[in-house]
Amino acid sequence: EMLGLSWKRLAKLLVPRCWFRQPARCPRGPCHPSGTIRLPRFLLTLLLVGASALLVTVFSAGSIEEWLLRPPPVSLAGQRTSRMREKAAAFDAATLKLDAPMLYRLPNPGVCAQSDVFLVSFVVSKPAHRESREAIRRTWASVREVRGRAVRTLFALGVPGNPQEQESVERESARYGDLVQGCFVDTYLNLTIKTIMVMRWFATYCPSAQYLLKVDDDVFLNISNLVDLLIGLGAGTTDLYLGRVHSKVRVIRNVSSLYYVSEAVYLPDIYPNYCSGTAYVLSGDMAHKIYVASLVLPLLTIEDVFVGICAQRMGVLPTHTSKMSGGPRFHFSQCCYKSIIASHHVGPTELLPMWHLVNDGSNCSLLAKFTALFVCKLLNLLQIGAA
């Protein structure tokens, strides 16, 4: 007892009367047992409702996120957009081969010569990141066919700062045949130039490939899931610009910032929606359009923003996928990484063991897969919110 009150009396004072079952009236006095508390049933109902809501959230988390960030309808009737699209449609990729000797130190032109390639993955890498390239070759770049579709992986480099490193790059190219090196110095501020080189190379040497993936060299890629997603879009998909979408990002006008952009280069205060540069996919026609737009727009050193501006000029907005992590990294769990497409900040020493765990032949149950996916997406969103 507490303060002279029994526990039953105290409970009746603290909870609403409707939670109690009233004693029945019997001809010869009160029936037994007398009033009992319905609190356990009430809590059970709450638990069932909460569990149902959680399951709905787990199974629909990605769909809700993608629905919220879906691109609005885009009018292609603008005169400037129409001219740009006509220019891209009339673009003759064959003429680019004439300039190739001046544009590439290592062109590697024969990748798409012997088969119809479904997907070309271009890994943006620094000359010094040989360990990362080796790890990728031993993991997801070793996959050359998914569901009967040919996939190829290449590495995009600029020119290193010293001759010894260039000699190492040339030996690596001779051994693996998967490097494309442009005639520009490999620096952070030249990332946009490197991406334009990728688009130009794709238009020159793989014009019939259906899709292009641009991806960083510290990304875990589940290439089977990516190919499945692209197959699901159907044949003849055009104007595809797919990745983790950044929305309503303000332009930085602080001249001391690495991301400073002047009004002379880009006048609006808000960037158009764009995909994180860590990993995004373009349909073949869209890669050509990005390249054509890049020839007439002022160059931004922020590579992923520049691609978004080029896409906007062509009348295309990005499509969001919740299965790419963007800047942060998805929290690793086996079932999560069996479900995602790309996760950032995965170093070369981690990539191989993670790849083996994800591709060990085991299957996660549907509930385990969606629960793990929900948890790693939630942690990813919390990281983005804290950044």
Going residue by residue through the chain (387 aa), what tens digit of pLDDT does each one get?
Answer: 444 445 455 455 544 555 445 555 555 555 555 444 455 666 767 777 665 555 555 444 555 555 555 666 555 556 678 787 877 777 777 777 777 778 899 999 999 987 799 999 999 999 999 999 999 999 999 999 999 999 999 999 999 999 999 999 999 999 999 999 999 999 999 999 999 999 999 999 999 999 999 999 999 999 999 999 999 999 889 999 999 999 999 999 999 999 999 999 999 999 999 999 999 999 999 999 999 999 999 999 999 999 999 999 999 999 999 999 988 899 999 999 999 999 999 999 999 999 999 998 889 998 888 888 888 878 877 776 666
What is the set of domains in the chain, with CATH numbers? Answer: 1-35 (no CATH), 65-320 (3.90.550)
Q: Which long-range contacts (CB under 8 A, 24 or more apart) does 95-100 make?
A: 96/200, 96/203, 96/204, 97/204, 100/204
pTM of the model: 0.80
Tell me the two tokens of residue 134.
């080796």
The Cα–Cα gap between 189 and 199 comes to 18
What DSSP letter does each residue of 265-316 carry, written as one string?
T--SSBPPPEEEEEEEEEEHHHHHHHHHHHTTSPPPS-HHHHHHHHHHHTT-
